[in-house]
Chain A
């Protein structure tokens, strides 16, 4: 989405549970200026637990679904044959609508030669907005059992920003929801951990972002200073490592209480202030995301 006026940083990861929200929230609380925070992990948004915003606006996200006028329909089946998602199928010779499978493309109403199909809005989720201290906070929530995550994510990202920085907490994985969250970003930080799963899913995420032509770097979470697999991979791929967050039981304790780690752990706060420095420096450099020679022992 190229229409985002402020500079956008997306916090993403191929693997779930690596610390995306922790990193995104910590960056929000250590930002050098006013920011807007978008929780785009719409299937399980949880940044609000840590930022504790006061929500004052709520907007429904809807999908236009077909409604068939039985009086006009001649059961030709064109609507069902154009639908790739089984939103309309022919059963016992008549078109039947299954709204939960409809992606809202409008193909059926276009294909109907009788003009028998109109569209009605069906709610699939909600966008909530409010303030968390100085932070403009926006979160998307998809309704249970809905599958149109990208639609809700795009609605969150369309909310206009008056802040110079936008931080986006992305959903995990490398499928459509993640694509919708990273689209058009100025920088993507991939949070990973030094484990076989962490490395495998980092590779998938790097591959996806390379296809999209986006600028990205890596944040290593739960680093213990011994396992160098992420460093080795980044060095070979010339991928910049923006930060290392050490494995620390205290981080887990603070997190599990719903507190934020930067206000309670000064050492961690320093890491995120340094990370902001790296981000600003990288974004001001044309070759910003080349490897800076950070070695595993650091």
Chain B
């Protein structure tokens, strides 16, 4: 599964950015291989209107299957829904912790 975590920095140790639409970075992680890369969210951060929708477009373009973030506005939520990407909010801590918690959940579920 490919997961996008909103992040304040580019590494797995970075703190989660609590905002989805105006997050500094999107860290894309493949939970099976552990591969990851960070994408700067300049489009969303600099948008006057529609930051959430543009960020959803970016995330959809990255091929993400899930989003982990702090808060997600109603328009972003609608856009992610239409993109078929489930979003989990109120996630805190660093990027790696959030992904590890998700991996544990997946393995327990199997």
- The answer to whether B82 touches A92, judged by C-beta atoms less than 8 angstroms apart, is yes
In this assembly, does B83 line the interface, its C-beta being within 8 Å of a C-beta of chain A?
yes
> Within the assembled complex, what's the spacing in Å between the Cα atoms of A151 and B34?
50
- The answer to whether B49 touches A91, judged by C-beta atoms less than 8 angstroms apart, is no
Residues of A contacting B41 in the complex (Cβ-Cβ under 8 angstroms):
none
Residues of A contacting B47 in the complex (Cβ-Cβ under 8 angstroms):
86
Given the known interface contacts A98-B75, A98-B79, the answer about A89 and B49 at a Cβ–Cβ threshold of 8 Å is no
How far does the Cβ of A90 sit from chain B's closest Cβ, in whole Å?
6
How far does the Cβ of B86 sit from chain A's closest Cβ, in whole Å?
13
Residues of A contacting B61 in the complex (Cβ-Cβ under 8 angstroms):
90
Given the known interface contacts A91-B60, A92-B60, the answer about A101 and B83 at a Cβ–Cβ threshold of 8 Å is no
- The answer to whether A89 touches B75, judged by C-beta atoms less than 8 angstroms apart, is no
- The answer to whether A89 touches B84, judged by C-beta atoms less than 8 angstroms apart, is no
Residue of B nearest to A91 (CB): B83
- The answer to whether A101 touches B49, judged by C-beta atoms less than 8 angstroms apart, is yes
Interface size range of chain B in the complex? 10 to 19
- The answer to whether A86 touches B50, judged by C-beta atoms less than 8 angstroms apart, is yes
**Partner-binding segment picked from B6-14, B51-59, B87-95:** B51-59
Binary flags per residue of B58-97, CB closer than 8 Å to A gives 1, else 0: 0011000000000000010011001111000000000000
> Within the assembled complex, what's the spacing in Å between the Cα atoms of A114 and B83?
23
Residues of A contacting B75 in the complex (Cβ-Cβ under 8 angstroms):
98, 100-101
Residues of A contacting B83 in the complex (Cβ-Cβ under 8 angstroms):
91-92, 96
In this assembly, does A85 line the interface, its C-beta being within 8 Å of a C-beta of chain B?
yes
Within 8 A of B (CB), among A57-105: 80, 85-86, 89-92, 96, 98, 100-101
Residues of A contacting B54 in the complex (Cβ-Cβ under 8 angstroms):
86, 89
> Within the assembled complex, what's the spacing in Å between the Cα atoms of A101 and B48?
11
Contact of B49 (CB < 8 Å), options: A80, A86, A90, A96: A86
> Within the assembled complex, what's the spacing in Å between the Cα atoms of A91 and B56?
8
- The answer to whether A86 touches B53, judged by C-beta atoms less than 8 angstroms apart, is yes
> Within the assembled complex, what's the spacing in Å between the Cα atoms of A98 and B50?
9
Q: Which of B54, B75, B82, B84 has the most CB of A within 10 A?
A: B82
How far does the Cβ of B54 sit from chain A's closest Cβ, in whole Å?
5
Residues of A contacting B57 in the complex (Cβ-Cβ under 8 angstroms):
80, 86, 89-91
- The answer to whether B79 touches A90, judged by C-beta atoms less than 8 angstroms apart, is no
Residues of A contacting B50 in the complex (Cβ-Cβ under 8 angstroms):
85-86, 98, 101
Q: Which residues of B contact A (CB under 8 A)?
A: 47, 49-50, 53-54, 56-57, 60-61, 75, 78-79, 82-85
Q: Would you list the 7 A-B pairs with minimal beta carbon distance, nearest first?
A: A86-B50, A91-B83, A89-B57, A86-B53, A92-B83, A91-B60, A101-B50
17 more A-B residue pairs beyond the given contacts A80-B57, A90-B57, A101-B50, with a C-beta to C-beta distance below 8 A? A85-B49, A85-B50, A86-B50, A89-B56, A89-B79, A90-B60, A90-B61, A91-B56, A91-B82, A92-B83, A92-B84, A96-B79, A96-B82, A98-B75, A98-B78, A101-B49, A101-B53
Q: List 26 A-B residue pairs with CB atoms under 8 Å apart, sorted by A's residue number.
A: A85-B49, A85-B50, A86-B49, A86-B53, A86-B54, A89-B57, A89-B79, A90-B57, A90-B60, A91-B56, A91-B60, A91-B79, A91-B83, A92-B60, A92-B82, A92-B83, A92-B84, A92-B85, A96-B82, A98-B50, A98-B53, A98-B75, A98-B78, A98-B79, A100-B75, A101-B53
